[in-house]
Every structure is written in C-alpha cells, then in structure tokens.
Amino acid sequence: MIVKLENINKVYGESGSETSVPALNNVSLSVDEGEYVAIMGPSGSGKSTLMNVIGCLDKPTSGVYYFGEKDVLKMKDRQLSDLRLNSIGFVFQSFYLMNEENAIENVALPLSYAGVSKRERERRAVEALTRVGLADRVKFRPNQLSGGQKQRVAIARAIVNNPKVLLADEPTGALDQKSGAAIMELFQKLNNEGTTIIMITHDANIASHAKKTYRIVDGQLFHGLEEGTHEEDN
C-alpha cells in the first residue's frame, strides 16, 4: 500500500467557530502500488483539498496519513519537501510551464532541485519526453506547442524523477476532446508500465478511465460513482 488515509478531517478557520469551513469529513482512502484511481466531484466538494493533502501540500486538521511506511503528519517541512520532490509527481490543469524555457529545460526542473548534474538532467528529460511521445519536440518552447503537447511536457516533468505516485488534478480540463482522449491514453500507458495514478476530476467520462473510482460529496468520500458506500465499508 502506497497511500493510506484514515479519518482525515480538514477544517479551514478555527474549528467550531462561526467562520470555520469544513472541507473534508472523516475521509479514509487506501491506494496500492500500481493502482489507477479517480476521485470525482463537483466544484466545492473537497476534491482539490483532498489532493493537496495526499500531495503533502496541505495538512489535515486531524486523522492519519501514511505514504508507504512514512507517517506524513509527523514529518517536518524539509522531509515533506523531499517527499514531494522524490516520490510524488504533480500534473495540473494549467500546465505551469516556463514560457521562456524549452521542453527539456521545463522537464529537467525537478532534477535541478534534486542536485542532478546538467548532463544527467538533460538525458533524463529527453527520456521522459520520449516516453510521452514528444521526442521530436524536445527543443520547442511552450508557445510552439499545442495544448495537448503542453500537457505532455507537464506529465514528462511529473514523471522525470520516477515518482511512486502521479497526482493529476483535472488533467484534461484545459484541453479539447481529442487532446483529452490522447492524454487519457497516455495515463493508461503509464499505469500499464507500473505508475500509480490518483486523478481528480469533475468529469464522469474521464473518471471512467481509472480502474477504481470514488465520488466526493460535501467532503465525504464514497466508493464508486454513486453516493452511499464509504471506502471503509469495502
């Protein structure tokens, strides 16, 4: 098991006060290595908060979180930073590419933070870009790429460190239907190669590509695309 959440709660503001906002309510989730999981929910359901917790970008108010054998909630900021850098790859709807840098330089960025030599950074970046089908676009800048190609660069950047988990937040949200379908095919390929994927989406068609689906409603997580069955009941 690579991700294990137990009774996770997240409240913004002072708990119990009139201004407090509950975002997650007793969420429990277990993800094994090699799984492909989708978490579906509308805007405001808590799905982005849950992704931020899983990605160690935010801490829950209470609960238990293990990433592999590591007790995440007992880790210090530097340890969390190292965990994000070395074990978690992030893919976002908006790509977040540096416009002045070419594809290799964008993909190699996490490796520079990890202290990898320039020659090795470039080698691994080209390898990752080839893996996502952009071997012929490695020197292109973002303004020379289509939306789907930009997302492929972002995915290459997310996998260049060989993370244990790939977290994707609305990865097709900024793409047309054809480009989105191509990205879903790429995710399936990566999962077949052993990458663990946790995908956040509001789209049932996108969620259907995963091997296991959950629905989040008002901060509560349910197994499947219908409300009524909690993860701990399965």
Instruction: Order across the sheet with 62-67: list the strands.
Output: 21-31, 3-12, 62-67, 70-71
What would the two tokens of residue 96 be?
Answer: 């977040």
| Type of residue found at 56 | C
The answer to whether residues 31 and 37 touch, using CB atoms and an 8 Å cutoff, is: yes
Residue-range domains of the chain with CATH:
3-233 (3.40.50.300)
Among 70, 73, 76, 51, smallest CA distance to 61 is for: 73
Q: What percent of the chain has pLDDT over 90?
A: 88
pLDDT tens digit sequence for 142-197: 999 999 999 999 999 999 999 999 999 999 999 999 999 999 999 999 999 999 99
The answer to whether residues 115 and 195 touch, using CB atoms and an 8 Å cutoff, is: no
Query: Among positive and negative, which fits the CA dihedral 68, 74, 48, 216?
Result: positive
Question: Is 232 a residue whose pLDDT tops 60?
Answer: no
Give residue 230's pLDDT.
53
pLDDT tens digit sequence for 5-62: 999 999 998 766 777 889 999 999 999 999 999 999 988 899 999 999 999 999 999 9
CA–CA separation, 199 and 187 (whole Å): 10
**What one-character DSSP code corresponds to residue 167?**
E
Question: Is 105 a residue whose pLDDT tops 60?
Answer: yes
Euclidean distance between the first and the last CA atom of the chain, given in angstroms as a whole number: 16
What would the two tokens of residue 220 be?
Answer: 């509560």
CA–CA separation, 46 and 49 (whole Å): 5
| Angle at CA of residue 191, ends 83 and 92, nearest 5° | 55
**Sequence-ordered list of residues with C-beta below 8 angstroms from that of 17, at least 6 positions apart, any chain:** none
Give residue 227's pLDDT.
52
**Sequence-ordered list of residues with C-beta below 8 angstroms from that of 165, at least 6 positions apart, any chain:** 2, 3, 31, 54, 67, 87, 88, 89, 196, 197, 198
Give residue 13's pLDDT.
84
